[in-house]
Structure 1
Amino acid sequence: MVVLKDKILNFHPDTLYVARKDVNLEKEERIEEALDILEGWVKKQTHFAKKDFSRDYLERTLITAKGLVERAKVRIDKLCTFKTLMPDLYPSSVSRTDYEVLEKYLNHAHLPTLTKDHYRVYLLQLNADDFSSSVVNTYYRYIVVTSEYLKIHDYNCGFIVALDFRNINILNVVAKCTPMELRQIVTLMTEGYSMRIKQIHIITASKMVDALLALFRQVLSSKLAKRITLHKNLDTFYEYVPKDILPIEYNGTERSLKKLNEEFIAELTSEEFVKYFEEMYKANTDESCRPSDKFNEQYVGMPGSFRALSVD
């Protein structure tokens, strides 16, 4: 059995097998056959700027597409296209100084240890709410960079998103997050990076939480909206995410959330990953080479900066 290893992400001994088996890809010959099909298909896409995705990249795409080759094709196409549709969310490179502004307002990280169900937990703790819209945009770009890292380094059976709003005024946050921009980042995460969000947890005792839920209902699918669980304190949150994988400030045994974030930043700004990200930044589309009927069929109505496109 192959045991996965990564510099900042941990896995259970059987995570690779379980992730593959979960989508009926536990047989090596089935995976290789599907990857051969995907590789051949990518090379034939005249509107793709990049045609040499690694097989590791393609396999993770296949897993998040539930093992379905046709769905994986759509996900690859969408992610490349979103890089053209949403240029404001994509920095051309990555630098440590890019995200220093976030330190005042939040601590966050994808937790190193998976749950027993092989879910990856993303935990966001907001500590101040006097931020500007530019800070929100910086945060979105950080999420994009992190997603690019997870796309090539992580294996899981889904994500748990935990949002801790106990230290801030929810109305101030709602006022700074426009539905259109939030919809863009959610669409990019779920339909571009194919993140399978299994649970969403909101931790707050605020009576203004209904305003936050109203915002989320504008941007989330009805399926995702139904996966939101509210917690007035951590006691009920522990019923979903066990203490032992949580940071010390959440009464867990893991390193602090700030420390975990620093480790992530260090890896995201490493020479190796910066080079990789700069390469993937160019993996967009040339829409003049795509039949216009195909673009209209798949992408009209999608959130994005269509002004940046030139479709013949």
Structure 2
Amino acid sequence: METIPKNRMFEYRDDTMKFVREQYNLNTPARINQAIDILEDWIKKQCHFGKTDFSREYLERAIIICKGSTEKAKKKLDKTCTFRTLMPAFFEIHNPRDLVKEYDNIVIDGFLPKLTKDHYRVYVLRNIGKRFESSFSNYYKFTIMLCEYLQRYDYCNGILVLFDYRETNIMELLKNISIMELRQALTIVVEGFSFRIKGLHFLTSSKTIETFINMVVKQVLNEKLVNRIHVHKDISTLKEHIPLEILPVEYGGKEKSMEKIHNELIDELSTKEFMDYLQEMSAAKTDESKRQTDKFYEQYLGTPGSFRSLSVD
């Protein structure tokens, strides 16, 4: 594609496409088309793929996410399709409103419309729950749906994540988290979708955040991503990583409120266009009886039901 298609949720800087492509030596149409051709030809030869007709826009985004490497993009697509087969519950198609309704008084989240100066997309999760009476299973499914949306529509340099836990009872949160379920969900996000996470930022003055990070976060992430964790007691240090002007108004920024961003996101995910897209992508699984080698399992999954540490670019 020659320009980034307009999207109701995302805004881009004037030079976003040029900036991102140039980082990976894909700064001419010939180079990006050659990379897509290579990936497209490889997909057609994968007899274990249930879907081989991915759009060229989808494949370009896969290559960009994988830092311009077609070899990494091949592994990414294989992993995503395999995870749809091995862990189908996370990819079940539900109305997003149904998935998040039990968290209405707990979670407000969404993507910030504007990119940072270095073209990173910011995801904000504001947790306002004091008590948690249900698991986060449906929220993990919702998170996978967000990943599908990013892969389909966004074009950026990577992701910055902000967890706002200022109003959260962290010990109560800790009691309701299944480490195995969280590990599986994050494996899909980081290994399957291969999103480049530049940083994980926790906004809280609670001293129990260290317990949460040690007991939960460090159990499911590898050392490289653990080293990208930042804890902020207030906004003053947060703005060193995320420009103030792109933050929502409740964080002292110029962007619309998190509640409005969240509601618009739910509306967007609920459209027939995106629901049809999820239905189309549900075919992107694998038939393991047709896979030519078992090296994928040995290298990436280990024994069934276990998951190795997440790798991060």
TM-score (norm 1): 0.93
For 1:227 and 1:98, the matched residues in 2 are separated by 29
Q: Within 2, Cα distance between the matches of 1:182 and 1:58?
A: 28
Structure 1 residue 47: deviation in Å? Answer: 0.9
- Shift in Å at residue 223 of structure 1? 0.4
Alignment partner, residue 206 of structure 2: 206
Q: Distance in 2 between matches of 1:70 and 1:196?
A: 16
Segments of 5+ residues of structure 2 without an aligned counterpart are 308-313
Distance 1:247 1:302, change over 3 A: farther
Looking at structure 2, the residues matched to 303 and 142 of structure 1 have their Cα atoms a distance apart, in angstroms, of 24
Note if contact 2:85-2:285 (Cα within 8 Å) is conserved in structure 1: yes
The 3-state SS of whatever aligns with 2:163 is: strand
Match of 1:53 in 2: 54
Q: Are the structure 2 counterparts of residues 149 and 246 from structure 1 closer, same or farther at C-alpha, using a change threshold of 3 Å?
A: same
Output one character per residue of 1:153-188: Cα deviation in whole Å (capped at 9) or x when no partner. 101111111001110111111221122111112211
Is the contact between residue 199 and residue 229 of structure 2 (CA under 8 Å) also seen in structure 1? yes
Q: Name 1:194's counterpart in structure 2.
A: 194
Match of 1:287 in 2: 288
- Displacement of 1:304 in angstroms is 4.6
Is the contact made by 1:93 and 1:277 (CA closer than 8 Å) also made in structure 2?
Answer: no
| Contact in 1 for aligned 2:99/2:141 (Cα 8 Å) | no
Contact 2:36 2:60 (C-alpha < 8 Å) held by counterparts = yes
| Residue in 2 that maps onto 1:96 | 97
Q: Which residue identity is paired with 1:97? A: D
Shift of 1:15: 0.6
The residue aligned with 1:297 is 298
- List aligned pairs for 1:214-225, cutoff 5 A: 214=214, 215-225=216-226
Q: What SS class does the counterpart of residue 198 from structure 1 fall into? A: strand
CA distance 1:284–1:133, shift in 2 (3 Å): farther
Deviation (angstroms), 1:250? 1.0
The answer as to 2:25 corresponding to 1:24 is yes
Using the TM superposition, give the Cα deviation of residue 292 of structure 1 relative to its aligned residue in structure 2, in angstroms.
5.0
Structure 2 distance, partners of 1:70, 1:218, is 29
Check whether the contact 1:174–1:211 (CA below 8 A) recurs between aligned residues: no
Aligned to 1:6: 7
Distance 1:222 1:196 in 2: 15
Q: Shift of the alpha carbon at 1:196? A: 0.3
Distance 1:305 1:88, change over 3 A: farther
Moved more, 70-79 or 88-97: 88-97
Report deviation, 1:70.
0.9
- Alignment partner of 1:104: what SS? coil
| Change in CA separation of 1:281 and 1:94 when aligned onto 2, cut-off 3 Å | farther
Question: What is the CA distance between 1:294 and its match in structure 2?
Answer: 2.7
2:173 corresponds to? 173
The residue type paired with residue 149 of structure 1 is Y
Give the TM-score, by structure 2 length: 0.93
Query: How far apart in 1 are the matches of 2:94 and 2:286?
Result: 18
What is the match of residue 164 of structure 1? 164
Q: What SS does the corresponding residue of 1:109 show, helix, strand or coil? A: strand
The CA RMSD measured in Å over matched residues stands at 1.7
CA spacing shift, 1:305–1:89, aligned 2, 3 Å:
farther
Which is further off, 90-99 or 136-145?
A: 90-99
CA 1:303–1:248: 2 relative to 1, 3 Å? farther
CA contact (8 A) 1:201 1:229 kept: yes
What do residues 217-236 of structure 1 show as CA deviations (whole Å, max 9, x unaligned)? 11111000000011111111
Map of 2:311 onto structure 1:
none
How many percent identity over aligned positions?
44
Give the residue type in structure 2 aligned to 1:164. Answer: D
- Residue ranges of structure 1 left out of the alignment (5+ in a row): 307-312
Deviation digits for residues 96-147 of structure 1 (CA, Å, limit 9, x no counterpart): 333222211011101100001100000111001422443x111111111111
CA distance in 2: counterparts of 1:263 and 1:71, whole angstroms: 33
Residue 65 of structure 2 corresponds to residue 64 of structure 1: yes
Change (3 A) 1:244 1:302: farther
Contact 1:3 1:13 in 2 (8 A): no
Which residues of 2 match residues 29-48 of structure 1 at below 5 A? 29-48=30-49
Separation in 2, partners of 1:302, 1:198: 30
TM-superposed deviation, 1:92: 2.5
Match of 2:310 in 1: none
SS at match of 2:284: coil
How many angstroms apart in 2 are the aligned matches of 1:264 and 1:2? 23
- For each residue in 1:1-39, what CA deviation from the matched residue of structure 2 results, as whole angstroms up to 9, or x when unmatched? 835521111000111111111222112111111111111
Aligned equivalents of 2:276 and 2:62: distance in 1?
A: 21
